Amino acid sequence: MKCPRCKVELTRKMFENHPVDACGKCGGLWVHRHQLNELLDESHGDVESSSIDSREHKDKFPAAKCLSCDNRIMKKINFMEFSDIIIDYCPGCGSFWIDGQELDMMHDYIRRVEEGSHLVKDRSAYSILARLSQIAYRIYH
């Protein structure tokens, strides 16, 4: 498979104990369905499903073509809806293209959300949302 950004051959690498196809030139990652949840396991939920929406999003990169679905144009989605981290998603196979540095940005965003959650005084709503996220992850994993 070739990188959808710089067209060099992707190589299999280990990221956080999970094998993914990576571009040695731009640092992009090809991530199959459920792999993003595994790479971001500190979220304790389904970040993939919580990121998929029907709105149009734009970022500095053109839409990537899916490497699994015969070059289908991938959809731009906002990671976890409010993060401003825009990633490419294929509705056909559920794969993601993660541009260089976006995985680090996702980890940072989850860390900041988790730190902010400790400031919540009324934990009932937070607990319900966290539990629903865990249930959804188990159902779709």
The ranges assigned to domains in the chain are 11-140
CA distance 137 to 14: 23
pLDDT > 80? residue 23: yes
* pTM, 2 dp: 0.78
Query: In this predicted model, what pLDDT tens digit does every residue of 27-54 receive, in sequence order?
Result: 999 999 999 989 988 777 788 887 888 7
CA distance 33 to 40: 13
pLDDT at 76: 94
Query: 78: burial class by Cβ within 10 Å (0-12, 13-18, 19+)?
Result: middle
Is the Cβ–Cβ distance between 24 and 89 less than 8 Å?
Answer: no
